[in-house]
Structure 1
Amino acid sequence: MGKITDRVEDLAQPIVESQGLELVDVEYVKEGENRVLRVFIENPEGEVTLDHCENVSKNLDEKLDEVDPIQESYILEVSSPGIERPLKKKEDFDRFSGKLAYIKTFAPVSGNKEITGIIKGRDGDNIKVLKKDDDKELEIPFSQIAKAHLMVDFDNITG
């Protein structure tokens, strides 16, 4: 299924960028009897609006109909990535430095395959994270990250 998401990313990228938005991620999953194509977008200037989602959805739907990279029927969903935004690119770890994240690695890093901690940026291809449970700083090779996303830091919510 990775090839479908790669092809959709290639089609979606110029559509999303033409509206001043950023493409965060593309997922193609089976949910029950349905296949769902999810496209996550972000507005670097602020919030993603319903108009943003509708415009990207309409333009991408037209492009997908034209190119037809997916043979079976599917549901197209376009939305913001939400509060647990995926961290997919090295630059995401620079942008979200100081934020709480969950990181799962392919192989253990200092004995851990699952790490929750504060992103401290990166050093070249290594992501620096201050582990939440013991305040130990780890350097994780970007190539070893299987999955990563932001988390809500309930300990630092004020109100």
Structure 2
Amino acid sequence: MADIAELTALIEPEVKALGFDLVRIKLFGSGDEYTLQIMAENPKTKQLVIEDCAAISRRISDVMDEVDPIEEAYRLEVSSPGIDRPLTRLSDFMEWASHEAKISATEIVEGRKSFRGVLNGVEGEDILFTDAKAGDVVIPFSLVSDAKLVLTDRLISASMPLSSDGADEFETEE
């Protein structure tokens, strides 16, 4: 299986060259069913439209065909992080401060490994967080194994789509 750090070093410059930020690279699956998932975003909108995904996919496909860093057969999947996005960079925790999130730690922090509450920002390499049960906690970024935003009305309002073109229209009865 390919090394994620090596894949990131190969893919991130290509994503940046197209004007996007890399959010996450994940390689998962088993046997002959592997998926290379690339999440990226436009730094201005925090979203991607389908044309952006297609452009990234073409560019990454060309590079991957040339370098061939993954021995196994795989499917390439390029997507926007979505509304309840994963938080993978320290800057994500600052940018989405005041929103609800779930965080899992690799080690016990303040007596817990799982947290759900409100992001309060970042101080140095630490995430400031108010957990619904434990109160205010400081979670070292280096101990975060998984983190994502929680879907709330406030988050939906903050993440309004760039365009509703192509969305299904519904007729309502009054």
Aligned residues: 156
Q: Which amino acid aligns with 2:79?
A: S
Residues 12-51 of structure 1, C-alpha deviations (whole Å, 9 max, x = no match): 1121112211000001011674111010011122231111
Give the whole-Å Cα distance in 2 for the aligned partners of 1:66 and 1:93: 35
Q: Which residue of 2 aligns with 1:148?
A: 147
Q: Which residue of 2 aligns with 1:44?
A: 43
Q: Which residue of 2 aligns with 1:11?
A: 10
Q: Shift of the alpha carbon at 1:107?
A: 1.7
Give the whole-Å Cα distance in 2 for the aligned partners of 1:55 and 1:69: 20
Check whether the contact 1:41–1:48 (CA below 8 A) recurs between aligned residues: yes
Residues 103-156 of structure 1, C-alpha deviations (whole Å, 9 max, x = no match): 00112222211000111011112110011246x111111122111111112588
Alignment of 1:65-84 (within 5 A): 65-84=65-84
Alignment of 1:109-148 (within 5 A): 109-133=109-133, 136-148=135-147
Q: Which protein has the larger Cα radius of gyration, Structure 1 or Structure 2?
A: 2
Inter-CA distance 31–53: structure 2 relative to 1 (3 Å threshold): farther
Q: Which residue of 2 aligns with 1:99?
A: 99
Q: Shift of the alpha carbon at 1:82?
A: 1.5
Runs of 4+ in 1 over 3 A off after TM superposition: 154-158
Q: Which residue of 1 aligns with 2:29?
A: 30
Q: Which amino acid aligns with 1:86?
A: P
Which piece of structure 1 moves more, 5-14 or 30-39? Answer: 30-39
Give the whole-Å Cα distance in 2 for the aligned partners of 1:49 and 1:125: 32
- Percent identity of equivalent pairs: 33
Q: Which residue of 2 aligns with 1:54?
A: 54
SS in 1 for 2:98: coil
Which piece of structure 1 moves more, 54-63 or 108-117? Answer: 108-117
Give the whole-Å Cα distance in 1 for the aligned partners of 2:20 and 2:116: 29
Check whether the contact 2:32–2:72 (CA below 8 A) recurs between aligned residues: no
Check whether the contact 1:115–1:131 (CA below 8 A) recurs between aligned residues: yes
Which piece of structure 1 moves more, 58-67 or 100-109? Answer: 100-109
Check whether the contact 1:11–1:60 (CA below 8 A) recurs between aligned residues: no
Residues 48-103 of structure 1, C-alpha deviations (whole Å, 9 max, x = no match): 11111001100110000000101111100101111221112211111111111110
